[in-house]
Amino acid sequence: MYFLAIETSCDETAAAVFTEEPAILANVIASQTDLHARFGGVVPEVAARAHLQRLLPVIDEALRQAGIGLRDIGAVAVHNTPGLVGALLVGVSAAKMLALALEVPLIDVNHIEAHVYAARLAAGRDIFPCVGLVVSGGHTSLFHCPNPLQFDLLGATLDDAAGEAFDKVASILGLGFPGGPAIEREAATGNPQAFHFPRAFLKDERLDFSFSGLKTAVLYTVRGQDATRPVSPPPPGPWRADLAASFQQAVIDVLVEKSRQALRRTGLHRLAVGGGVAANRPFRQALERMAQEEQAELFIPPMKLCTDNAAMAAMAVEKWRLRHEAPLDLDAVATYRPRRQPIAQS
């Protein structure tokens, strides 16, 4: 049984082919980073148009790499939420068209939940029940995941997502877009203790996050308190590297400590991490140390499965086993409001 999956929620046009094991046969990603870089962020209309131009060639390439034809496809999976609605619509329309024409099931997959599932896919074995941490450009959420299809929200960001904070601080420091990898590079030579930036809710019971105060603290350090002054990015050198390293450390401290609290409070010993920020090496190392201290197993997929991709839609296999199909009037939904659950011990 072959599944074809489609991802167009933001600025990557992606298609994947996997089997029901699930095993990945192809994972093709056409990045639009170059298109958006000159705007300093993703422009929704530009993203949607680029998806339109690229999606069919990307699907063709995925089929070619998997060594199969369209007629071999047994089900079509698509990320239909959350994301930029115009961008999502391109993928959802294509998936519906293919499911209808091939007379195969259509399976809807939540993009955020799929980021957690990417860890299951990479592990090649069951990782549930686990705590799931999704840290991307649009989301920072902690979940209690009793099984591959249940995601109970333990906490989320109340303002900026962690990746968004990386992108905005990179822009303040004049490091370009996307900000995450640029900050990581800059921070490599900086002192993470040079500035003490705020760590919101660190001592708080809640498992929620807030990164907008941190971003503002970096802004004030660079520009001074006078809001009428223009922001001019600092010149390259140790001061800029220290700013990047201290900012990165503040984000890491909060993400790692909240994950530790989530493990303790659910009584679970497995942590699955996904989303673009999970590509950050110092973050991965800090998670590894914490997991060792908590005697927990840590599941972080390799880079290509951390950032946006269609292979993580292999969560569709779990739905397909239970015959959870989507209707052909499936819609693209921009916002995701997961269930908030009181913390239960597993």
Sites of contact with ligand KG4 (CB under 6 A):
10, 136-138, 163-164, 166-167, 178-181, 184, 275-277, 279-280, 307-308
Q: How far is the CB of 292 from Zn ion (least distance, A)?
A: 27
Q: How far is the CB of 274 from Zn ion (least distance, A)?
A: 8
Q: In the complex with Zn ion, which residue's Cβ is closer, 63 or 90?
A: 90
Q: How far is the CB of 43 from ligand KG4 (least distance, A)?
A: 15
Q: In the complex with ligand KG4, which residue's Cβ is closer, 106 or 165?
A: 165
CA distances, 18 to each of 68, 130, 144, 165 (Å): 11, 23, 26, 33
CA distances, 10 to each of 43, 121, 131, 217 (Å): 9, 22, 25, 28
Q: Are strands 270-274 and 150-156 parallel, antiparallel or unpaired?
A: unpaired
CA distance 344 to 279: 30
Q: In the complex with Zn ion, which residue's Cβ is closer, 167 or 308?
A: 308
Q: In the complex with ligand KG4, which residue's Cβ is closer, 73 or 314?
A: 314
Q: How far is the CB of 163 from Zn ion (least distance, A)?
A: 9
110 binds, among ligand KG4, Zn ion, none (CB under 5 to 8 A by kind): none
- Of 257, 279, 260, the closest CA to residue 269 belongs to 260
Which residues are CB-contacts of 147 (< 8 A; sequence separation ≥ 6)?
128, 129
Residue 81 binds Zn ion (CB under 5 A) = no
Q: In the complex with ligand KG4, which residue's Cβ is closer, 255 or 271?
A: 255
CA distance 237 to 322: 56
Q: How far is the CB of 143 from ligand KG4 (least distance, A)?
A: 15
Among 108, 184, 308, 318, binds Zn ion (CB under 5 A): 308
Q: How far is the CB of 256 from ligand KG4 (least distance, A)?
A: 14
Residue 136 binds Zn ion (CB under 5 A) = yes
Paired residues of 239 in beta bridges: none
Describe the strand order of the beta sheet including 73-81 as a list of residue ranges. Answer: 24-31, 12-19, 2-7, 73-81, 106-110
CB 172 within 8 A of CB 220: no
Q: How far is the CB of 67 from Zn ion (least distance, A)?
A: 28
132 binds, among Zn ion, ligand KG4, none (CB under 5 to 8 A by kind): none
Q: In the complex with Zn ion, which residue's Cβ is closer, 8 or 136?
A: 136
160 binds, among ligand KG4, Zn ion, none (CB under 5 to 8 A by kind): none
Which residues are CB-contacts of 165 (< 8 A; sequence separation ≥ 6)?
211, 212, 214, 215, 247, 251
Residue 32 binds Zn ion (CB under 5 A) = no
Peptide bond into 57 cis (omega under 30): no
Q: In the complex with Zn ion, which residue's Cβ is closer, 105 or 137?
A: 137
Which chain residues interact with Zn ion by CB under 5 A?
136, 308
